[in-house]
Amino acid sequence: MRKNLRRYREIMFAKAMSSAIHECYKIRLLADNIL
C-alpha cells in the first residue's frame, strides 16, 4: 500500500510539472506574439 501511495504521488508530481511547463510555454508564445 505504501509503495502505491509513493508511486501515485510521483505520477501526480510529474503531471503537475508537465502542465506547469505547458502553461509557461503558452505564456511565452503569447508574449512573443505581443512583442
> What pLDDT does 28 receive?
94
> What pLDDT does 9 receive?
95
Q: Tens digits of per-residue pLDDT, 7-34?
A: 999 999 999 999 999 999 999 999 998 8
- Identify the residue with better confidence: 2 or 21: 21
Name the residue with cell 502505491: 4
Question: What letter does residue 21 receive in the DSSP assignment?
Answer: H
Q: Evaluate if pTM is beyond 0.75.
A: no
Q: How far is CA 25 from CA 2, 22, 30, in A?
A: 35, 5, 9
> What pLDDT does 2 receive?
80
